[in-house]
Amino acid sequence: MSTTQSDRLRGLLEPLVAARDLDLEDIEMSRAGKRRMLRIVVDSDEGVELDTCAELSREISDRLDETDVMGEDEYVLEVSSPGADRPLTEHRHYVRAVGRLVKFQLAEGGDLVARILGVDDEGLDLEVPGLKGRKATTRRLAFTDVAKARVEIEFNRKDKKEEEA
């Protein structure tokens, strides 16, 4: 997708997304056989419900039909929320991941898997799980020390509400 088309799409769609108190995370155009696929990814601090994606999809489709931004070729529109294991690239992503287990690739090399306890403008407060029966430890990690970060999927984690009961 050309930068110009991407900019036009973002300018057209951001007001629709913002009107629902959502963040426009990504716009991706790809080919699916003869058709084009336009994927719009939205998110919020509370997450995004399926009904909201469906309603927004209809609004976006109507808006795109009113303009020439997609040209004359057919395309498939998909509006979704980011996957549970999406990369953390913005400050708001880290804030939304508080309490989640995250795999960090460190700028100095190596990996770190830890739970985010808190986030501020400079970095993260983490809980690093103990190995071989040892207690978990806390660690401070500056954003400048993070090369990449991705939420880890946890299948067996007890919810805090379950732990307190």
pLDDT tens by residue, 123-135 = 999 999 888 888 9
The residue type at 38:
L
Phi-psi region of 132 (alpha: psi -120 to 50; beta: other; left: phi over 0): left
Q: Where are the alpha helices (DSSP H) in 67-133?
A: 91-96
Q: What is the pLDDT of residue 72?
A: 81
Q: What is the pLDDT of residue 162?
A: 44
Phi-psi region of 95 (alpha: psi -120 to 50; beta: other; left: phi over 0): alpha
Q: Which residue has the higher pLDDT, 37 or 156?
A: 37
Reading the block at residue 16, the tokens are 């629709």
The stretch 12-24 carries a mean pLDDT of: 93
pTM for the model: 0.72
pLDDT tens by residue, 95-122 = 999 999 999 999 999 999 999 999 999 9
